[in-house]
Structure 1
């Protein structure tokens, strides 16, 4: 589904003084999908139809500072505020218990939600993300954007540079049209200028390392990791620790896939998530 069609199927909802882009698809058991940095909920477009067909009410949103949601230019963005906004959205939509699926930046938001109220999260599925701050390996561009030169560099970023950096974390090719839509989502309302502010989530991960790793490792609900081992940021080196620290979890490891399983291997990822969310998980540890 193209970005324009995805956006047309959602609405902007006022929450905690901000307007967030939100979509609701399907009926049945609730599941909330949380996207990563620097893109948007459109990353989940290939996944949603499979989950709807499996009998789920799928909630997707653009986090504050991303996609079609508000992008206040001088805001101090934080993972905690993103979790506040998701809880406010659940209240607005009348969602109590829900399954939770998250990728990249979204896994930190998921960890904060698990730390707050793990009983509310019926099942958790996580895709490539910095679950352990000490294992996070940002690409050179992210390091620069997170440095003192970040604001200047962000303003010089264009689609060509963005696409080149995105391709560097992929293991399988992704269509040019998909990458263009990703850039369009990022650049909407000059969102690419916000990268240094949004990247403060790296500092949040360090500051809340024990709280967030503890929330993951103590979680008693069903847990699935859908992982691309070729990801240079959060790939096979993270899997090794997850296997040791989360021995009850299921793993679907996608050979040859990098940082974006839902875009590099959309059918395999959607099937794995649908099976897990409907209690039919068969983890494949490659």
Structure 2
């Protein structure tokens, strides 16, 4: 299945789920390995778990949150090292560890079946959870999966120069010395030309990045790029062997994991279900939330409801 949609202009600020401060206040906290993890939950219906990307946080979902919570019970968290969650150092950050965190959180909530939506870094966590599902080691069922721009296939991932430098032996210096100007210049490059982040958006994303010494661990977090290469067979195999309905919603203007990633998905996945959003970059759920919600709702209506 192939669909192409044209991204609309950025929604008015009234479509946000309140301010960043309100997002933080309306939260639930839990512990993982002695570390405090930030989460949010709202809505009613089938459980939908949202997993964010690097280097941002669950706040990425704030524009689409009011739409999703009308139809589903929606759960989101800031993974360890991100956003408002603890950012321990030293710590061995990994996708596998984040998958352990998410698995324990879902199990602790008592959910028997969940739908997953992942973006960027969160896509890799979803792939690891899919692999575990196929091994029969998850205490819950994955009912469906939706991917938003992520490096599902590392061979066609095109990282920014700053991401390459953060992975190098100079990564610690670059991470600790990252300025807001450098961050903004690189962050803006990820967005489509019609939907750039405004000043308030940049204030919010920067605040989440530097919160609780977040700059000091970026070079540790970004090692997930090497994990993708090392676990490529396991995580790509999880996609190819998935029994659940899957859809890729791709911002085609993304310079990092856009058109080439969608093309690779069509090559390697049987009966690929892909929705391409023109003029939309790396953050489709933030840049064009209505189009993402519409594409996701259509996807969910294409198969029956799951058992909760």
Q: Same fold (TM over 0.5)?
A: yes
Q: Greater helix share, 1 or 2?
A: 1
> Alignment partner of 2:211: what SS?
helix
Q: Hey, what does 1:273 align to over in structure 2? A: 296
Quote the offset at 1:280 in angstroms.
Answer: 7.5
Quote the offset at 1:158 in angstroms.
Answer: 2.1
> Alignment partner of 2:29: what SS?
strand
> Alignment partner of 2:164: what SS?
helix
1:14 and 2:37 correspond? no
Quote the offset at 1:279 in angstroms.
Answer: 3.5
In structure 2, how many angstroms separate the alpha carbons of the residues matched to 1:277 and 1:10?
Answer: 27
Q: 1:221 aligns with which of 227, 232, 244?
A: 244
Q: 2:228 aligns with which of 191, 205, 229?
A: 205
Aligned residues of 1:16 and 1:88 also touching (Cα < 8 A): no
> Alignment partner of 1:117: what SS?
helix
Q: Hey, what does 1:85 align to over in structure 2? A: 101
Q: 1:70 aligns with which of 78, 86, 92?
A: 86
Q: Hey, what does 2:14 align to over in structure 1? A: none
Quote the offset at 1:17 in angstroms.
Answer: 2.5
Segments of 5+ residues of structure 2 without an aligned counterpart are: 1-17
Question: Deviation string for 1:71-115 (max 9, x for gaps)?
Answer: 002101000000000011012111121000000011000000000
Q: Hey, what does 1:38 align to over in structure 2? A: 55
Segments of 5+ residues of structure 1 without an aligned counterpart are: 282-286
Q: What is the number of residues matched between the two proteins?
A: 280
Quote the offset at 1:275 in angstroms.
Answer: 2.9
Q: 1:144 aligns with which of 154, 157, 165?
A: 165
- The higher relative CO (CA closer than 8 Å, separation ≥ 6) is in 2
Q: Hey, what does 2:207 align to over in structure 1? A: 184
Sort the Cα spacing of 1:194 and 1:236 in 2 relative to 1 into closer, same or farther, 3 A: same
Once the two structures are superposed, the pairs formed by residues 19-168 of structure 1 within 5 Å of their partners are 19-54=36-71, 56-118=72-134, 120-168=141-189
What TM-score do you get using the length of structure 1 for normalisation?
Answer: 0.94
Aligned residues of 2:52 and 2:118 also touching (Cα < 8 A): yes
Aligned residues of 1:2 and 1:181 also touching (Cα < 8 A): no
RMSD: 1.5
In structure 2, how many angstroms separate the alpha carbons of the residues matched to 1:59 and 1:153?
Answer: 33
In structure 2, how many angstroms separate the alpha carbons of the residues matched to 1:149 and 1:271?
Answer: 43
Q: 2:263 aligns with which of 240, 243, 246?
A: 240
